[in-house]
Structure 1
């Protein structure tokens, strides 16, 4: 019987069977627990995912029928193994979608192709120490210098930014005047670029991907580019894992089981997605329930 909340097509059902068997082989529960405890990134797993063509759903030149259902199926199955693993998968998906939709052919070849081949991965750098989830108020600046840019500032809570071959989608301020959101640009920044410093932050969860703070003082080549779903999924994950802990009792508390990992990740899910109050405020304003002069 399907565990999905949506009606499956035959294609989605076949993909679910394939994905579940694949993850049973390449991400069994014992391995996932070891990766989580040791803070190890399973690079080979994502090479295999790339080889299967799962990223092509968002990076194909031709429209893929039933994209939402296929992505939901993949995310559900990877998420059964670990919310950390599916978060890393989603970072690649969202970055590839942006590069494919908005990037130049050169950017697609330089940054998109290695991810599709399983040789690199994507991350995102938005939050800052004094800004949090208000992306429109970021202080990191990008100033023109010849044919490139100079980035100065600091990012924090950047999931997966320190992993091998990571390239960040970084939000920086590029102008002044007018609405805050109109002064922003998105830069593709390899974490191994000279002048980029990445430091891992101790955290309760997200041990496989890691959470990082990033410092910038480098001349970089110019590479510019749903809150409701994030809010609901984060809340449901945290509530479900907390309820499961109560049901399991002591069994759910010891590290011999996967539940403690899911519980800590459920807490983190409501943090990395942004404070619920900020998300609810954004949703309300998007529905016309609130206004702001600088938003």
Structure 2
């Protein structure tokens, strides 16, 4: 599968949907229970050109635009939020290298990431540092031409299987981002099990004990690790997570409509009950509104419009909170069946809860969106 022009996006979405329905959705519950993504899934995504979709063609990728990447994230999110998480973190690392890496770094890493030879993971969060990336305590110390890394990263999505970590730590020059290979001596990972959601995402603690990294692995320059490298990566992450929430909304709606159309209570199908219809109408509306917001964010990103930042934050905030409401209602519609393992709505509920936290919590977006509102209003007043 390759990137498509605007006229072909509907076809691209149908291809992505067919792929997800055939290869991902039927196995998502089993992977959720096993808390693992089989390695052959990663290989399949790579072989189909999906892991490298947004990587420029000159580096072996598909050269896909933001809207097409979003459509892919939406269909993967509908089938399995954990697999969508793989797409998110992998493309975040690739994007950071593409934007801030040297020519040598791009030529070394982008072809391998596009081909799925290695999985990329973002190692930023720590036990004491989440949304505030500048508060990380991982230490980066120069030693000749190398850097020595010491620290503990937590909540590293696909950290248990990643071959390349984008690590952010503190150096004498300020927050610094560098690339650390998994097989470097002193790197150790520990799977975090029994998470509330995205349980197949192989999220891990990652420990760096006197890990020596070549100086040529620093992205951008020391001091720009958070403001530039991580900022750009997280912005892309918010975008794909927002689309993943559109997928959860679609999945909740499909499951609820199917269940309500076959389940009888008090002598009639529950789809005839007014309060069930109210919940489904809310899902229906939210799914379409979230999709439109994500499409707008993607369009602005492709046009390199300065408003893309606010649009992406808006889309992620609305889609994530709407997915949370839809998942809760989907479980309610399923009743006791929704609380057990036989229906996927239980998985949707846990996954949606994670979506309201990662790539900027709902509360962080509320604060930021209010600031955008004040700025836009102030600009209009000055233009009068």
Q: TM-score category by the smaller chain?
A: 0.7 to 0.9
- Which residue does 2:204 correspond to in 1? 212
Cα gap change, 1:139 to 1:230, in 2 (>3 Å): farther
Instruction: Tell me, yes or no, if the aligned pair for 2:184 and 2:212 is still in contact at 8 Å.
Output: no
Partner Cα distance (1:129, 1:207) in 2? 19
- Residue-by-residue CA offset, 1:20-68 (whole Å, 9 max, x unaligned): 2222222132x11111111121322222222222344421157989812
Larger Rg: 2
Output the CA distance in 2 between the equivalents of 1:172 and 1:253. 41
SS in 1 for 2:218: coil
Q: What are the Cα deviations for residues 65-116 of structure 1, in whole angstroms up to 9, with x where unaligned?
A: 9812211211111111011111111111221122122222332343322221
Q: Is the 8 A contact 1:50 1:117 kept in 2?
A: yes
**1:255 Cα deviation (Å)?**
0.7
> In the alignment, what sits opposite 1:293?
none
In 2, Cα distance between equivalents of 1:268 and 1:70? 24
Rounded Cα–Cα distance in structure 1 between residues aligned with 2:353 and 2:110:
31
Is contact 2:126–2:154 with CA below 8 Å preserved after alignment? Answer: yes
The partner residue of 1:187 within 168, 178, 191 is 178
In structure 2, the CA distance between the partners of 1:193 and 1:263, relative to structure 1 (3 Å rule), is same
Counterpart CA distance in 2 for 1:196 and 1:65 is: 32
Alpha-carbon offset, residue 231 of structure 1: 3.1
1:127 corresponds to which residue?
Answer: 125
CA RMSD, aligned part only? 2.5
Higher helix share: 2
Matched length:
274
Match of 2:15 among 14, 18, 26: 18
**CA distance, structure 1, for counterparts of residue 147 and residue 64 of structure 2:** 39
Match in the other structure for 2:364 = 278
Gap regions ≥5 residues in structure 1: 1-7, 177-182, 290-295
Q: Paired residue for 1:4?
A: none
Q: Which residue is equivalent to 2:286?
A: none
Within the candidate set 312, 317, 326, 1:231 is matched to 317
* Partner Cα distance (2:365, 2:212) in 1: 34
2:54 alignment partner, SS class: helix
Secondary structure of 2:159's counterpart equals: coil
Aligned to 1:100, what secondary structure does the other structure show? helix
1:201 pairs, out of 192, 200, 220, with 192
Question: What TM-score results when the alignment is normalised by the length of structure 2?
Answer: 0.65
Unaligned residue ranges in structure 2 (runs of 5+) = 220-234, 239-312, 376-384
Q: TM-score, normalised by structure 1?
A: 0.83
Separation in 1, partners of 2:70, 2:183: 32
- Corresponding position of 1:5: none
Distance 1:272 1:151 in 2: 25
* Higher mean displacement: 48-57 or 187-196: 48-57
Cα distance change, pair 45–251 in 1 and its aligned pair in 2 (3 A)? same
Q: Distance in 2 between matches of 1:198 and 1:286?
A: 39
The answer to whether the 8 Å contact 2:53/2:114 transfers is: no
1:174 maps to what in 2?
A: 171
